[in-house]
Amino acid sequence: MEPSEGGSCCKQTLVRLDRVSKTFGNTVALKDFSLDIRSGEFLTLLGPSGCGKTTTLRLINGFEVPDGGSVSIHGRDVTHVPPFSRDVNTVFQNYALFPHLTVFENVAYALRVKRIAKAEVKARVLAMLDRVGLSDKASRLPRELSGGQTQRVALGRALINEPTVLLLDEPLSALDAKLRRAMQLELRRMHAELGLTFVCVTHDQEEALAMSDRIAVLDSGQIAQIGTPQEIFERPRNRFVADFIGGCNFIPISIDQNSGFTWRYGKPHALARGTEVLLGIRPQNLRLGVPEEGAAFDANVHISDVVYLGTAVRLVLRLGSGLELTAEIDRQAIGTTNIEPSTALRVWARQNDVIDFDSVGWSSHGAV
Protein backbone atom coordinates (compact mmCIF):
# COMPACT_ATOMS: atom_id res chain seq x y z
CA MET A 1 0.00 0.00 0.00
CA GLU A 2 1.17 3.53 -0.78
CA PRO A 3 -1.07 5.81 1.31
CA SER A 4 0.86 8.99 0.59
CA GLU A 5 0.57 8.78 -3.20
CA GLY A 6 -1.86 10.65 -5.38
CA GLY A 7 -3.49 13.92 -4.45
CA SER A 8 -3.90 15.34 -0.97
CA CYS A 9 -2.99 13.15 1.99
CA CYS A 10 -5.01 15.20 4.46
CA LYS A 11 -8.36 13.56 3.67
CA GLN A 12 -9.54 11.17 6.33
CA THR A 13 -9.34 7.45 5.64
CA LEU A 14 -12.89 6.14 5.38
CA VAL A 15 -12.34 2.50 4.33
CA ARG A 16 -9.26 0.48 5.23
CA LEU A 17 -8.29 -2.99 4.10
CA ASP A 18 -5.41 -4.08 6.31
CA ARG A 19 -3.29 -7.00 5.08
CA VAL A 20 -6.28 -8.98 3.85
CA SER A 21 -5.94 -12.31 2.08
CA LYS A 22 -8.56 -14.29 0.18
CA THR A 23 -8.32 -17.60 -1.65
CA PHE A 24 -10.87 -19.56 -3.64
CA GLY A 25 -9.80 -23.19 -3.69
CA ASN A 26 -6.25 -23.16 -5.06
CA THR A 27 -6.61 -19.64 -6.47
CA VAL A 28 -5.13 -16.76 -4.49
CA ALA A 29 -7.28 -13.68 -5.18
CA LEU A 30 -5.59 -11.34 -2.68
CA LYS A 31 -2.50 -11.82 -0.55
CA ASP A 32 -1.42 -9.47 2.25
CA PHE A 33 -3.37 -6.70 0.49
CA SER A 34 -3.68 -3.24 2.07
CA LEU A 35 -5.57 -0.20 0.81
CA ASP A 36 -6.78 3.07 2.33
CA ILE A 37 -9.78 4.74 0.65
CA ARG A 38 -10.21 8.44 1.46
CA SER A 39 -13.45 10.10 2.44
CA GLY A 40 -15.16 11.75 -0.53
CA GLU A 41 -12.81 10.49 -3.22
CA PHE A 42 -13.58 8.64 -6.47
CA LEU A 43 -11.23 5.66 -6.40
CA THR A 44 -11.09 3.16 -9.24
CA LEU A 45 -9.74 -0.38 -8.91
CA LEU A 46 -8.32 -1.16 -12.35
CA GLY A 47 -6.80 -4.32 -13.73
CA PRO A 48 -7.26 -7.38 -15.94
CA SER A 49 -9.59 -10.28 -15.19
CA GLY A 50 -8.46 -12.26 -12.16
CA CYS A 51 -6.35 -9.47 -10.62
CA GLY A 52 -8.49 -9.26 -7.44
CA LYS A 53 -10.43 -6.05 -8.02
CA THR A 54 -13.94 -7.56 -7.70
CA THR A 55 -12.86 -9.56 -4.66
CA THR A 56 -11.71 -6.30 -3.08
CA LEU A 57 -15.13 -4.77 -3.73
CA ARG A 58 -16.90 -7.79 -2.24
CA LEU A 59 -14.77 -7.59 0.90
CA ILE A 60 -15.85 -3.97 1.34
CA ASN A 61 -19.57 -4.68 0.91
CA GLY A 62 -19.43 -7.83 3.03
CA PHE A 63 -20.32 -10.37 0.35
CA GLU A 64 -16.96 -12.05 1.04
CA VAL A 65 -15.08 -12.51 4.33
CA PRO A 66 -11.27 -12.43 4.20
CA ASP A 67 -9.23 -15.45 5.23
CA GLY A 68 -6.93 -13.08 7.09
CA GLY A 69 -6.59 -9.38 7.82
CA SER A 70 -9.35 -6.86 8.52
CA VAL A 71 -11.77 -4.45 6.86
CA SER A 72 -12.85 -1.25 8.61
CA ILE A 73 -15.26 1.56 7.72
CA HIS A 74 -15.17 4.83 9.66
CA GLY A 75 -12.67 3.19 12.02
CA ARG A 76 -15.12 0.37 12.88
CA ASP A 77 -14.01 -3.19 12.21
CA VAL A 78 -16.63 -4.68 9.86
CA THR A 79 -14.70 -7.78 8.81
CA HIS A 80 -17.47 -10.10 10.01
CA VAL A 81 -20.39 -7.64 9.83
CA PRO A 82 -23.09 -8.72 7.32
CA PRO A 83 -23.71 -6.57 4.21
CA PHE A 84 -27.06 -5.15 5.40
CA SER A 85 -25.38 -3.72 8.50
CA ARG A 86 -22.72 -1.79 6.59
CA ASP A 87 -23.21 1.78 5.39
CA VAL A 88 -22.41 0.69 1.84
CA ASN A 89 -24.48 0.19 -1.32
CA THR A 90 -23.50 -1.47 -4.59
CA VAL A 91 -24.41 -0.91 -8.23
CA PHE A 92 -23.94 -4.33 -9.81
CA GLN A 93 -22.68 -5.06 -13.30
CA ASN A 94 -26.05 -6.49 -14.39
CA TYR A 95 -27.95 -3.84 -12.33
CA ALA A 96 -30.10 -6.59 -10.69
CA LEU A 97 -33.36 -4.64 -10.98
CA PHE A 98 -36.68 -6.29 -10.12
CA PRO A 99 -38.21 -6.88 -13.57
CA HIS A 100 -41.81 -6.88 -12.30
CA LEU A 101 -41.50 -3.55 -10.44
CA THR A 102 -41.73 -0.09 -11.96
CA VAL A 103 -38.84 2.38 -11.89
CA PHE A 104 -40.48 4.09 -8.90
CA GLU A 105 -40.89 0.84 -6.97
CA ASN A 106 -37.35 -0.34 -7.75
CA VAL A 107 -35.92 2.85 -6.29
CA ALA A 108 -38.37 2.79 -3.37
CA TYR A 109 -37.74 -0.84 -2.44
CA ALA A 110 -35.03 -0.27 0.20
CA LEU A 111 -37.07 2.45 1.87
CA ARG A 112 -40.13 0.22 2.02
CA VAL A 113 -38.06 -2.55 3.63
CA LYS A 114 -37.12 -0.05 6.33
CA ARG A 115 -40.84 0.72 6.81
CA ILE A 116 -40.38 4.42 6.16
CA ALA A 117 -43.60 6.43 6.04
CA LYS A 118 -45.37 6.39 2.68
CA ALA A 119 -45.29 10.16 2.25
CA GLU A 120 -41.53 10.30 2.91
CA VAL A 121 -40.91 7.40 0.51
CA LYS A 122 -42.75 9.22 -2.25
CA ALA A 123 -40.93 12.49 -1.64
CA ARG A 124 -37.48 10.89 -1.51
CA VAL A 125 -38.01 8.67 -4.54
CA LEU A 126 -39.36 11.52 -6.68
CA ALA A 127 -36.38 13.67 -5.66
CA MET A 128 -33.98 10.86 -6.57
CA LEU A 129 -35.64 10.23 -9.94
CA ASP A 130 -35.30 13.91 -10.67
CA ARG A 131 -31.62 13.78 -9.73
CA VAL A 132 -30.92 10.88 -12.11
CA GLY A 133 -33.08 12.31 -14.89
CA LEU A 134 -35.90 9.75 -14.78
CA SER A 135 -38.85 11.74 -13.48
CA ASP A 136 -40.86 10.96 -16.62
CA LYS A 137 -40.08 7.22 -16.44
CA ALA A 138 -41.40 6.48 -12.94
CA SER A 139 -44.16 4.14 -14.16
CA ARG A 140 -42.03 2.23 -16.68
CA LEU A 141 -40.81 -1.34 -16.21
CA PRO A 142 -37.08 -2.10 -16.63
CA ARG A 143 -37.67 -3.86 -19.96
CA GLU A 144 -39.12 -0.64 -21.34
CA LEU A 145 -35.93 1.34 -20.68
CA SER A 146 -32.72 1.89 -22.61
CA GLY A 147 -29.38 0.69 -21.25
CA GLY A 148 -28.47 4.14 -19.96
CA GLN A 149 -31.86 4.58 -18.29
CA THR A 150 -31.58 1.17 -16.63
CA GLN A 151 -28.17 2.14 -15.28
CA ARG A 152 -29.64 5.34 -13.85
CA VAL A 153 -32.35 3.35 -12.06
CA ALA A 154 -29.66 1.18 -10.48
CA LEU A 155 -27.79 4.31 -9.37
CA GLY A 156 -30.95 5.83 -7.91
CA ARG A 157 -31.77 2.65 -6.02
CA ALA A 158 -28.24 2.49 -4.60
CA LEU A 159 -28.19 6.16 -3.60
CA ILE A 160 -31.66 6.36 -2.04
CA ASN A 161 -30.33 5.13 1.31
CA GLU A 162 -27.63 7.83 1.28
CA PRO A 163 -24.74 5.39 1.86
CA THR A 164 -21.34 6.55 3.04
CA VAL A 165 -19.70 4.48 0.29
CA LEU A 166 -21.09 3.69 -3.16
CA LEU A 167 -19.51 0.67 -4.84
CA LEU A 168 -19.69 0.41 -8.63
CA ASP A 169 -19.01 -3.04 -10.10
CA GLU A 170 -18.20 -2.38 -13.78
CA PRO A 171 -21.35 -0.23 -14.01
CA LEU A 172 -20.85 0.85 -17.63
CA SER A 173 -19.80 -2.43 -19.22
CA ALA A 174 -23.20 -3.11 -20.82
CA LEU A 175 -23.38 0.27 -22.59
CA ASP A 176 -22.23 1.21 -26.08
CA ALA A 177 -19.12 3.40 -26.48
CA LYS A 178 -20.93 6.72 -26.93
CA LEU A 179 -23.23 6.15 -23.97
CA ARG A 180 -20.32 4.98 -21.82
CA ARG A 181 -18.55 8.30 -22.33
CA ALA A 182 -21.70 10.23 -21.50
CA MET A 183 -22.25 8.19 -18.32
CA GLN A 184 -18.62 8.67 -17.26
CA LEU A 185 -19.26 12.40 -17.15
CA GLU A 186 -22.58 11.81 -15.41
CA LEU A 187 -20.96 9.73 -12.67
CA ARG A 188 -18.32 12.41 -12.13
CA ARG A 189 -21.05 15.05 -11.87
CA MET A 190 -23.05 13.01 -9.37
CA HIS A 191 -19.95 12.30 -7.31
CA ALA A 192 -19.13 16.02 -7.13
CA GLU A 193 -22.72 16.91 -6.18
CA LEU A 194 -23.21 14.22 -3.56
CA GLY A 195 -19.79 14.33 -1.92
CA LEU A 196 -19.91 10.56 -1.28
CA THR A 197 -17.04 8.12 -1.56
CA PHE A 198 -17.22 6.21 -4.86
CA VAL A 199 -15.25 3.00 -5.38
CA CYS A 200 -15.43 1.68 -8.94
CA VAL A 201 -14.18 -1.58 -10.44
CA THR A 202 -13.31 -1.66 -14.13
CA HIS A 203 -10.89 -3.18 -16.63
CA ASP A 204 -11.33 -0.19 -18.97
CA GLN A 205 -8.33 2.15 -18.60
CA GLU A 206 -10.01 5.03 -20.48
CA GLU A 207 -12.95 4.83 -18.07
CA ALA A 208 -10.62 4.89 -15.06
CA LEU A 209 -8.66 7.87 -16.37
CA ALA A 210 -11.84 9.84 -17.15
CA MET A 211 -13.65 9.37 -13.83
CA SER A 212 -11.18 8.91 -11.01
CA ASP A 213 -9.49 11.05 -8.40
CA ARG A 214 -7.12 8.13 -7.82
CA ILE A 215 -6.53 4.80 -9.56
CA ALA A 216 -5.24 1.62 -7.94
CA VAL A 217 -3.81 -0.67 -10.61
CA LEU A 218 -4.01 -4.30 -9.48
CA ASP A 219 -1.88 -7.18 -10.71
CA SER A 220 -2.16 -10.73 -9.35
CA GLY A 221 -3.80 -9.70 -6.08
CA GLN A 222 -1.41 -6.84 -5.33
CA ILE A 223 -1.38 -3.08 -5.95
CA ALA A 224 1.11 -2.44 -8.74
CA GLN A 225 0.70 1.34 -8.38
CA ILE A 226 -1.74 3.83 -6.87
CA GLY A 227 -1.98 7.52 -7.72
CA THR A 228 -3.82 10.18 -9.68
CA PRO A 229 -4.67 9.47 -13.33
CA GLN A 230 -1.88 11.81 -14.41
CA GLU A 231 0.67 10.08 -12.16
CA ILE A 232 -0.35 6.62 -13.33
CA PHE A 233 -0.23 7.55 -17.02
CA GLU A 234 2.82 9.80 -17.10
CA ARG A 235 4.96 8.09 -14.44
CA PRO A 236 4.14 4.37 -14.49
CA ARG A 237 6.18 2.49 -11.92
CA ASN A 238 6.80 -0.64 -13.95
CA ARG A 239 6.26 -2.31 -17.30
CA PHE A 240 2.92 -3.84 -16.33
CA VAL A 241 1.37 -0.48 -15.41
CA ALA A 242 2.75 1.27 -18.48
CA ASP A 243 1.42 -1.42 -20.81
CA PHE A 244 -1.99 -1.73 -19.15
CA ILE A 245 -2.60 2.02 -18.96
CA GLY A 246 -2.51 3.38 -22.49
CA GLY A 247 -0.01 1.02 -24.05
CA CYS A 248 3.71 1.62 -24.40
CA ASN A 249 6.68 0.92 -26.66
CA PHE A 250 9.31 -0.99 -24.69
CA ILE A 251 12.84 -0.52 -25.92
CA PRO A 252 15.51 -2.81 -24.46
CA ILE A 253 19.06 -1.54 -24.72
CA SER A 254 22.37 -3.29 -24.25
CA ILE A 255 25.19 -0.78 -23.85
CA ASP A 256 27.74 -2.83 -25.83
CA GLN A 257 25.49 -3.41 -28.85
CA ASN A 258 24.40 -1.20 -31.73
CA SER A 259 20.65 -0.86 -31.22
CA GLY A 260 19.87 0.88 -34.50
CA PHE A 261 18.84 4.17 -32.93
CA THR A 262 20.29 7.08 -30.96
CA TRP A 263 19.54 7.48 -27.29
CA ARG A 264 20.54 10.48 -25.19
CA TYR A 265 19.82 10.98 -21.54
CA GLY A 266 20.87 13.86 -19.32
CA LYS A 267 22.17 11.89 -16.34
CA PRO A 268 25.83 12.18 -15.38
CA HIS A 269 26.97 8.64 -14.63
CA ALA A 270 28.10 6.39 -17.47
CA LEU A 271 26.80 2.85 -17.61
CA ALA A 272 29.24 -0.04 -17.77
CA ARG A 273 29.45 -2.02 -21.00
CA GLY A 274 27.10 -4.97 -20.98
CA THR A 275 24.49 -3.16 -18.89
CA GLU A 276 20.92 -3.79 -20.06
CA VAL A 277 18.27 -1.12 -19.53
CA LEU A 278 14.65 -0.65 -20.55
CA LEU A 279 13.05 2.50 -21.91
CA GLY A 280 9.37 3.18 -22.55
CA ILE A 281 7.74 5.63 -24.96
CA ARG A 282 3.98 6.08 -25.33
CA PRO A 283 2.73 5.75 -28.94
CA GLN A 284 1.30 9.30 -28.67
CA ASN A 285 4.76 10.67 -27.77
CA LEU A 286 6.60 9.52 -30.88
CA ARG A 287 6.98 12.36 -33.39
CA LEU A 288 7.82 12.44 -37.10
CA GLY A 289 10.67 14.28 -38.79
CA VAL A 290 14.00 15.77 -37.77
CA PRO A 291 14.36 15.74 -33.97
CA GLU A 292 14.55 18.97 -32.02
CA GLU A 293 17.70 19.83 -30.09
CA GLY A 294 17.97 17.82 -26.88
CA ALA A 295 15.68 15.01 -28.07
CA ALA A 296 16.18 11.88 -25.98
CA PHE A 297 15.47 9.34 -28.72
CA ASP A 298 15.51 9.25 -32.51
CA ALA A 299 15.53 6.45 -35.05
CA ASN A 300 15.21 5.70 -38.74
CA VAL A 301 12.29 3.35 -39.36
CA HIS A 302 10.12 1.87 -42.09
CA ILE A 303 6.32 1.78 -41.94
CA SER A 304 4.93 -1.76 -41.65
CA ASP A 305 1.24 -0.91 -41.32
CA VAL A 306 -1.12 2.08 -41.22
CA VAL A 307 -4.38 2.11 -39.24
CA TYR A 308 -6.83 5.00 -39.66
CA LEU A 309 -8.34 6.13 -36.31
CA GLY A 310 -10.29 9.20 -37.40
CA THR A 311 -8.51 12.11 -35.73
CA ALA A 312 -5.23 10.16 -35.60
CA VAL A 313 -3.30 7.53 -37.55
CA ARG A 314 -1.63 4.53 -35.91
CA LEU A 315 1.67 3.56 -37.53
CA VAL A 316 3.45 0.26 -36.97
CA LEU A 317 7.14 1.02 -37.44
CA ARG A 318 10.11 -1.33 -37.85
CA LEU A 319 13.70 -0.50 -36.97
CA GLY A 320 16.63 -2.02 -38.82
CA SER A 321 17.20 -4.32 -35.84
CA GLY A 322 13.68 -5.76 -36.30
CA LEU A 323 12.21 -4.06 -33.22
CA GLU A 324 8.66 -2.82 -33.85
CA LEU A 325 7.29 0.43 -32.44
CA THR A 326 3.77 1.85 -32.54
CA ALA A 327 3.12 5.56 -33.06
CA GLU A 328 -0.19 7.39 -32.91
CA ILE A 329 0.11 10.63 -34.84
CA ASP A 330 -2.47 13.40 -35.02
CA ARG A 331 -3.60 13.77 -38.63
CA GLN A 332 -2.77 17.49 -38.63
CA ALA A 333 0.79 16.71 -37.52
CA ILE A 334 1.33 14.40 -40.50
CA GLY A 335 1.00 17.22 -43.06
CA THR A 336 2.46 16.16 -46.38
CA THR A 337 4.47 13.25 -44.93
CA ASN A 338 4.02 10.06 -46.92
CA ILE A 339 2.64 7.37 -44.61
CA GLU A 340 2.29 4.46 -47.01
CA PRO A 341 3.61 1.02 -45.97
CA SER A 342 7.36 0.58 -46.64
CA THR A 343 7.98 4.33 -46.48
CA ALA A 344 11.17 5.35 -44.63
CA LEU A 345 10.68 7.83 -41.78
CA ARG A 346 12.55 9.37 -38.90
CA VAL A 347 10.86 9.35 -35.48
CA TRP A 348 11.94 10.91 -32.20
CA ALA A 349 10.81 11.64 -28.66
CA ARG A 350 11.43 14.44 -26.17
CA GLN A 351 13.36 14.03 -22.95
CA ASN A 352 10.27 14.14 -20.70
CA ASP A 353 8.45 11.59 -22.84
CA VAL A 354 10.96 8.78 -22.31
CA ILE A 355 10.17 6.58 -19.30
CA ASP A 356 13.16 5.18 -17.45
CA PHE A 357 12.20 1.83 -15.95
CA ASP A 358 15.65 1.11 -14.54
CA SER A 359 16.21 4.35 -12.58
CA VAL A 360 19.95 4.36 -13.18
CA GLY A 361 22.28 7.00 -14.59
CA TRP A 362 23.60 7.03 -18.13
CA SER A 363 26.09 8.99 -20.14
CA SER A 364 24.92 12.42 -21.19
CA HIS A 365 24.39 12.82 -24.95
CA GLY A 366 25.99 9.48 -25.79
CA ALA A 367 24.90 7.41 -28.72
CA VAL A 368 24.09 3.77 -28.04
Q: What are the residues facing 300 on neighbouring strands?
A: 346
Contacts of 46 (CB under 8 A, 6+ apart): 53, 202, 203, 205, 208, 215, 216, 217, 218, 244, 245
Whole-model pTM?
0.83
Contact 211, 190 (CB under 8 A): no
Query: What is the predicted pLDDT for the residue at 121?
Result: 92
Fold of 249-356: OB fold (Dihydrolipoamide Acetyltransferase, E2P) (2.40.50)
Residues of the chain with CATH 3.40.50.300: 13-244
Calculate Rg over the CA atoms of the chain.
25
Query: What is the predicted pLDDT for the residue at 152?
Result: 85
Residues of the chain with CATH 2.40.50.100: 249-356
Q: Is the CATH number 3.40.140.10 carried by domain 13-244?
A: no
pLDDT tens series, the chain, 368 aa: 444 455 545 579 999 999 999 999 999 999 999 999 999 999 999 999 999 999 999 999 999 999 999 999 999 999 999 998 898 988 887 778 889 999 999 999 988 988 889 999 999 999 989 888 889 999 999 999 888 888 889 888 888 888 899 999 988 877 778 878 888 888 898 899 888 999 999 999 999 999 999 999 999 999 999 999 999 998 898 899 999 998 899 988 765 555 555 555 444 345 556 667 788 999 999 999 888 887 888 889 999 999 998 889 999 999 888 889 999 999 888 877 788 898 999 999 998 898 877 643 333 333 33
Contacts of 57 (CB under 8 A, 6+ apart): 45, 90, 167, 169, 199, 201
Contact 360, 277 (CB under 8 A): yes
